Structure 1
């Protein structure tokens, strides 16, 4: 039997640290993927945040000379979901609300009129009202 020459507080600290590390390793090796969203590759999102995102159906902001509607959207919602880029960009999600494929889309309006070009091609001007609305696809 080996007798430690470390003072009692140091042995206690070492034992506590070893215990915490063991618990952390065991928790990290858990096979319950459903209880660990990060293990499935998706970030942990609270139910409240998901519900709040589902309620988002509009976003408005003022136009600015020299900026596209897409540039300004990304200022107001840096996490907006966009496929493609530049003039070919297509907005699929705003404020955490992704349009359902084949059922909805994010429509872009300028001063109350639907835009005739995409967000990446629409050069805005000071004083314009830019608005995104989640709309249903009519079949």
Structure 2
């Protein structure tokens, strides 16, 4: 049985570098991973968070958590900073009511290369052709 992931392409890739998101899907698929992309994804909330607009950031955080909460698939993000946002900052900003969903989602969230090396156990991609 192959691994299953949901790709969160990030707002930056969706808006400015969609070819990178397509490349991530190709790489993961080539490695035998079943990749889905949710059509309702927007942003992890990091731009608002970094600008000090925590209330606006919390709205996007809740949307992210609601979208992925209760799922079984891992969530792969091709961005270290967005991954860090989900894992490390969601609990800082959101209400206590959100804690269960945040822990569920953050525990299944991986940066793209981290997922390949830690979860798939692949350390050498030199013979890899996309």
Q: Which TM-score band applies after superposition, normalised by the shorter structure?
A: under 0.3
Structure number with larger C-alpha Rg: 1
Compute the TM-score of the two structures, normalised by the length of structure 2: 0.24
Relative to total residues, which structure has the larger helix share, 1 or 2?
Answer: 2
Relative to total residues, which structure has the larger strand share, 1 or 2?
Answer: 1
Compute the TM-score of the two structures, normalised by the length of structure 1: 0.23
